[in-house]
Structure formats: C-alpha cells, structure tokens
C-alpha cells in the first residue's frame, strides 16, 4: 500500500498539540504526525511549551483557535482539570487528564495512560490479565492510572509496593472498590515470593541517566513471571535485562507511550490508530 507522506497545510488543517513544561524532548509530535499522514488526515500536531502560569490562557486558546485535541503532560495533568467542561469518569477517579477532546468548544478531559498501558501489556506480553497476581512497584501518579486500569481487568490480586509504604496503602484504599488491592512497603515483598505472575515497575528507578539502578532485588524474580517496566529511556532497563537473563517474559515502556497516544488519536479522529506506523516513528 502506498502512503502519502506529504504534509498539506491549508485552511482545512485540523490542529493538535501537546502542552507541557518542558516539552522540547517530546516524541509525541513525531509519532502523531506520522499517524495523521498514514491515515490521510489533514492535521498537524505540534509541541506547545506552556508554563504553569499560562495554562489557563492556553486552554482558552484551544477553544478560541479550535484545536481539535491536545495532550497534556507534566506538570499540567492535574491542574488542567478545573479548566475543562467535562471530565471523563476514569480520569476523574484517577485524578489526572492527559488527553483533551474539543467538540465545538466543549472540552472533555480523558486519561489514556492507564488504559494505554494495559492495552500494551495485553498486546505485547500478557494477553490474559484476569486471574493473575500482580506486583506494582511505586505509588505515584503513573502507578495510579495503571492500578485503576489493571483492577478493571479482574486480576486475582494487585499488591502495590512502595518505598514510602503509607502512599502504597493510600493508593490501594482509593481503588479498593474495583478489585482486591493491598499496599505494602518494599521490605514486605519477600513474603510474596512465588506468589506473583506479573511485576510492573512504575518508578523512575533505572531511567536515563541512572541506568544501573534497579527497583527490586532481581534474585527475587522467577522464570515464569512477566516483568514490565514503564521506562522507555532506555528501552531495556537493568530490571528488564536481569529479568530476561532469569528467563522471565519482558515488556518495556515504549508500548504504553504508543497506546496512550493511540487512544488519544482514536478519540480525536474516530479512526483506528496505525500502531505499527507509530512504533516505527518512535524507533527511528
């Protein structure tokens, strides 16, 4: 199939973008512009450097200039919420928005991070989450969306382990209505040995430039586990390398980034996202 990779910008071009601070290193414009071209959508997606004090004006600008959609990233995912007209139920429960859809001036906020992660895990590593026993390491903003989305997949249990145990217990309590959840300290994971099917690192431990760091003792891992890391810089963290060496199935963070963008693309355009085009754009 031949595809038109030329950008035609004219008065019909649909506007998209990502707001963040900093934003210069965002890979979203490259990924989304490729996706728009591949699907034949006359649109452009740009990076918008928005400081916290300018967020209100920027959102007013989305309405005024008729952007069809924007992503919001650090540090705006929480502060953008009161500036929108409607918040999707999942985003409200997670307490953060990463995707805004503009329907003729009415802005709705969604969170595609958690569902993006789960779709990536299922497509790329572990098709059946139902009945599985999951250990989530970390209890910050990233863990929140993921724990909520995982709980909806009917796992047998989710244990959240965090350096600060109290935060893990709070996160487990927040979502206890959605599934069997427990919050524990990192020192308590020893007692789960042999109990866990899927381990997910949501902390920044092991991220560039601290690539030799690891969030748990790899000797705790067993060959029948799936080990997943949200980090995608580097594509293979020390945790994933150690897990692979021990015979575990491994799953990196690039897929989460692709699928959170894929859901946003689908909400904005109504078209199925070209996943492999998006992956190819990121791997270049």
Radius of gyration of the chain (CA): 19
Of the candidate residues 128, 164, 176, 191, the single one contacting ligand ATR (CB under 6 A) = 164
Nearer to ligand ATR, 202 or 269 (CB): 202
Nearer to ligand ATR, 161 or 243 (CB): 161
**Pattern of binders to ligand ATR over 215-254, x per CB under 6 A?**
x---------------------------------------
| 77 classed as catalytic | yes
In angstroms, the Cα distances linking 94 to 78, 121, 142, 177, 199 are 10, 19, 10, 13, 21
143 contacts ligand ATR (rule: CB under 6 A): yes
**Pattern of binders to ligand ATR over 167-206, x per CB under 6 A?**
x----------------------------------xxxx-
* Beta pairing partners, 44: 15
Nearer to ligand ATR, 156 or 170 (CB): 170
Exactly one of 27, 77, 132, 238 is catalytic; which is it? 77
Nearest CA-CA partner of 207 in 241, 235, 249: 235
**Cα 150 from chain centroid (whole Å):** 12
State the number of binding residues for ligand ATR (CB under 6 A): 15
List contacts with ligand ATR (CB under 6 A): 138-143, 162-164, 167, 202-205, 215
List, by residue number, the catalytic residues: 77
């Amino acid at each position: 199939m031949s595809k038109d990779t030329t950008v035609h910008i004219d008065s019909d071009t649909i506007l998209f973008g990502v707001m963040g601070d900093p934003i210069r290193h965002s890979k979203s414009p490259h990924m989304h512009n490729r996706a728009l071209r591949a699907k034949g959508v006359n649109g452009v997606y740009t990076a918008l450097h928005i400081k916290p004090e300018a967020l209100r004006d920027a959102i007013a600008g989305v309405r005024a200039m008729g952007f069809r959609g924007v992503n919001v990233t650090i540090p705006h995912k929480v502060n953008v919420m009161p500036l929108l007209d409607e918040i999707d139920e999942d985003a409200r429960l997670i307490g953060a928005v990463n995707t805004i859809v503009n329907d003729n001036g009415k802005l709705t906020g969604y969170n595609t991070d958690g569902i993006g992660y789960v779709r990536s895990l299922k497509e790329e590593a572990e098709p059946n989450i139902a009945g599985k026993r999951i250990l989530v390491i970390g209890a910050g903003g990233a863990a929140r969306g993921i724990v909520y989305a995982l709980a909806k997949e009917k796992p047998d249990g989710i244990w959240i382990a965090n350096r600060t145990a109290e935060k893990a217990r709070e996160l487990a309590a927040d979502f206890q209505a959605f599934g069997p959840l427990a919050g524990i300290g990192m020192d308590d994971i020893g007692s789960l040995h042999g109990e866990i099917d899927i381990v997910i690192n949501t902390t920044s431990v092991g991220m560039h430039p601290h690539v030799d760091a690891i969030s748990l003792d790899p000797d705790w891992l067993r060959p029948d586990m799936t080990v997943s890391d949200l980090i995608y810089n580097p594509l293979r963290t020390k945790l994933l390398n150690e897990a692979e060496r021990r015979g575990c199935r491994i799953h990196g963070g690039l897929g989460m980034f692709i699928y959170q963008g894929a859901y946003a693309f689908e909400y904005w355009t109504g078209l199925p996202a070209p996943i492999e085009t998006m992956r190819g754009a990121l791997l270049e």
